[in-house]
Structure 1
């Protein structure tokens, strides 16, 4: 039986707090150029229940492309989310929650762009850049 639970987390300085519910929490990692530049590594997000995420505090966003934005704490700069503008979805940074809400890694995006210096272990889906662009990029940007 799957159980829904509420989770809470915060940025590095604690000025921004986040709450959400999770029913089937999973962690996803993205190795695209923008995520690596934004985080200095891969971006790891936690799947949360749609419409359940609430941020409190000085959260700001930066429009990083025609279809996406990236959220951060105005005080300490912690990464908060990657969001898609068209549907308003926010993919919350897994590091905001203790132990990434105990969620398993299930998916890597842009896996063929992973830097040579690291690789994520375990059995999970790994999507290439071409697969990600086919699945997510607006048709005019492919």
Structure 2
């Protein structure tokens, strides 16, 4: 997967700016119950690695959504800013956050076993169940 060079985005009110050194070239959808509850639908996100800088950090609220991940949002306007893996400090940013996003390809869907029947994407994507995601990415048990 090829990465794009630098991307920038802001929250709705402009209190928070997020800059990414090397966002991935692809967008993935997460259909898990938590992402759907967080945003009202699937999370469409870009893997952004660890080289993410945030200005306006005093306006960022972080919620520990699981033992391994956090979700960040602007405490003023509520814009979703990131999903971050705690141990790896790896960020996934909502694709709509970017001000001038490069051309992305939509190539992966995860937690497809939790996807409700009322929507479907037509794109040809790699599809993983929740169990497959945990097998690939979950941190090792203590």
TM-score range for the pair, normalised by the shorter chain length: 0.7 to 0.9
How many angstroms apart in 2 are the aligned matches of 1:128 and 1:97?
A: 27
How many angstroms apart in 1 are the aligned matches of 2:81 and 2:3?
A: 25
CA spacing shift, 1:52–1:78, aligned 2, 3 Å: same
Q: After TM superposition, which residue ranges in structure 1, 4 or more long, deviate above 4 angstroms?
A: none
Which blocks of at least 5 consecutive residues in structure 1 are unaligned? none
Query: Contact (CA 8 Å) 1:22, 1:47: kept in 2 or not?
Result: no
Aligned positions, number:
139
- State the TM-score, normalizing by the size of structure 1: 0.86
CA spacing shift, 1:133–1:53, aligned 2, 3 Å: same
Q: What is the match of residue 122 of structure 2?
A: 121
1:67 to partner: Cα distance: 0.9
Alignment root-mean-square deviation, CA: 2.1
Q: What is the match of residue 111 of structure 1?
A: 112
1:44 to partner: Cα distance: 1.4
Q: What is the match of residue 62 of structure 2?
A: 61
Query: Contact (CA 8 Å) 2:4, 2:102: kept in 1 or not?
Result: no
Q: What is the match of residue 40 of structure 2?
A: 40
Q: What is the match of residue 16 of structure 2?
A: 16
- State the TM-score, normalizing by the size of structure 2: 0.86
Q: What is the match of residue 79 of structure 1?
A: 80
Q: Any idea what SS the aligned residue of 1:47 has?
A: strand
Query: Contact (CA 8 Å) 2:12, 2:77: kept in 1 or not?
Result: yes
1:66 to partner: Cα distance: 0.9
Which blocks of at least 5 consecutive residues in structure 2 are unaligned? none
1:112 to partner: Cα distance: 1.9
